[in-house]
């Protein structure tokens, strides 16, 4: 059974559709990326899945249930939305203690100390979090969201406002939750590099509809003629290399820019091309297959469906 199953979801506000016919599934232990430009309908979808908003049509189930009507299930869910859900006047420790008590966490002191250590805030345990930087507060928000060790985690821009080191810490934490603890993570992020690094599957939403829904791997590989960048030891050999390469069966085009030769070809032709260059005595420093980044895919999808990025 899918951990999150959304089917034909639609929502209108005052008769204007905001999302239409949204369907996707998230499996256990997966990190799922929910992407789309501002106003695409991501928050609306999440709010329906969390049971905070009623859909106009369709269903959104978490572990087979409507989250809004299942109190027991809500305890298995951790949520970090835009707001960190923390009290500025309370210390980091007391904020977590407040939530630990609500969720009746066993051995709360150990859990809180472990979490503060995990988000690298141990030395600030007794400081009021109102004095924390935006990034420190975000890390506290994440610690708050996972205090009860939820099986399913909804994270809305978890790394916004974080410096690169803290972003990495949060990324590693999410990957650890998924890979080591089999937790399911639903991630909404505009940070496509981050999504590419940690998500298995993604859906790209644009103007209320899903425009792409696949594994990151498939999306990056699809509709693509492989491109190789060849860096030559002797830049003067570039034109000759291109002439040689064009004669190889399966090579589409070859162009030269300085000492870099760009070749597009069908995948099976790559070994033939490299053998031909070696045979002709062309020394290569590097031969690199270029893959599209998730950002390239995202921009294509959003542009193709006619929207602002
Ligand atoms: N309660 C509401 N009443 C009327 N319109 C709404 C309401 N909530 C959202 N909308 C509209 O629905 C559209 C989608 O908003 P939503 O917040 O879901 O987008 P989003 O993809 O989360 O955007 P962002 O990336 O900026 O957070 C927007 O045009 C927004 O103005």
Residue 253 scores a pLDDT above 80: yes
Q: Which CATH architecture has domain 227-290?
A: 2-Layer Sandwich (3.30)
Specify the residue with its C-alpha closest to ligand 1, atom 1.
13
Residue 220 scores a pLDDT above 80: yes
Residue 16 scores a pLDDT above 70: yes
35-68 tens-digit pLDDT: 999 999 999 999 999 999 999 999 999 999 999 8
The size of the chain, in residues, is: 309
Q: How many angstroms is it from 295 CA to the middle of ligand 1?
A: 23
Residue 109 scores a pLDDT above 80: yes
Element (H or E) spanning 56, and its range?
Answer: none
* Measured distance CA(309)–CA(307) in Å, rounded: 6
* Measured distance CA(243)–CA(301) in Å, rounded: 35
Predicted TM-score of the model (pTM): 0.85
* Measured distance CA(221)–CA(168) in Å, rounded: 26
Q: How many angstroms is it from 111 CA to the middle of ligand 1?
A: 36
Q: What integer is the mean pLDDT of 102-122?
A: 96
The closest of 178, 187, 197, 148 to 49, measured between CA atoms, is 187
Predicted pLDDT at 141: 96
Specify the residue with its C-alpha closest to ligand 1, atom 16.
41
Q: How many angstroms is it from 38 CA to the middle of ligand 1?
A: 8
Q: CA angle, corner 157, sides to 307 and 207, nearest 5?
A: 20
Domain with CATH 3.30.70.100 in the chain: 227-290
Mutate to test the pocket of ligand 1, among 9, 11, 12, 13 (most ligand atoms within 8 A of CB): 13
Q: Which CATH architecture has domain 4-221?
A: 3-Layer(aba) Sandwich (3.40)
The answer to whether 22 and 205 are in contact (CB under 8 A) is yes
Burial 146-157 (b: 16+ CB within 10 A, else e): bbbebbbbbbbb
Q: Which atom of ligand 1 is nearest to the CA of 14?
A: 4
Query: Which residues form the pocket of ligand 1, taking CB atoms under 6 Å from any ligand atom?
Result: 13, 18, 36, 38-44
Q: What integer is the mean pLDDT of 268-274?
A: 92
pLDDT, the chain, mean: 92
Domain with CATH 3.40.50.300 in the chain: 4-221
């Amino acid at each position: 059974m899918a951990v999150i199953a959304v089917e034909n979801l639609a929502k209108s506000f005052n008769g204007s559709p905001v999302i239409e016919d949204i369907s996707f599934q998230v499996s256990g232990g997966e990190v799922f990326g929910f992407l789309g430009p501002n106003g695409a309908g991501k928050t609306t979808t999440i709010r329906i899945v969390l049971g905070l908003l009623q859909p106009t049509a369709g269903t959104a189930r978490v572990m087979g249930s409507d989250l809004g009507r299942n109190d027991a299930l809500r305890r298995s869910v951790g949520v970090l939305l835009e707001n960190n859900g923390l009290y500025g006047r309370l210390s980091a420790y007391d904020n977590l203690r407040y939530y630990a008590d609500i969720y009746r966490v066993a051995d709360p002191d150990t859990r809180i100390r472990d979490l503060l250590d995990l988000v690298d805030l141990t030395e600030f345990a007794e400081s009021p979090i109102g004095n924390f930087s935006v990034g420190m507060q975000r890390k506290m928000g994440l610690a708050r969201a996972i205090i009860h060790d939820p099986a399913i985690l909804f994270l809305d821009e978890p790394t916004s406002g974080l410096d690169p080191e803290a972003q990495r810490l949060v990324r590693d934490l999410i990957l650890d939750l998924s890979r080591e603890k089999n937790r399911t993570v639903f991630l909404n992020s505009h940070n496509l590099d981050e999504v590419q690094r940690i998500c298995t599957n993604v859906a790209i939403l644009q103007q209320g509809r899903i425009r792409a829904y696949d594994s990151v791997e498939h999306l990056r590989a699809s509709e693509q003629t492989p491109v190789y960048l060849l860096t030559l030891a002797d830049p003067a050999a570039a034109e000759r290399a291109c002439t040689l390469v064009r004669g190889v069966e399966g090579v589409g085009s070859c162009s030269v820019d300085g000492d870099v030769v760009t070749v597009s070809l069908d995948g099976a032709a790559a070994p033939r091309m490299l053998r031909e260059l070696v045979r002709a005595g062309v020394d290569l420093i590097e031969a690199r297959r270029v893959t599209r980044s998730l950002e390239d895919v995202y921009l294509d999808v959003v542009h193709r469906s006619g929207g602002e990025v």
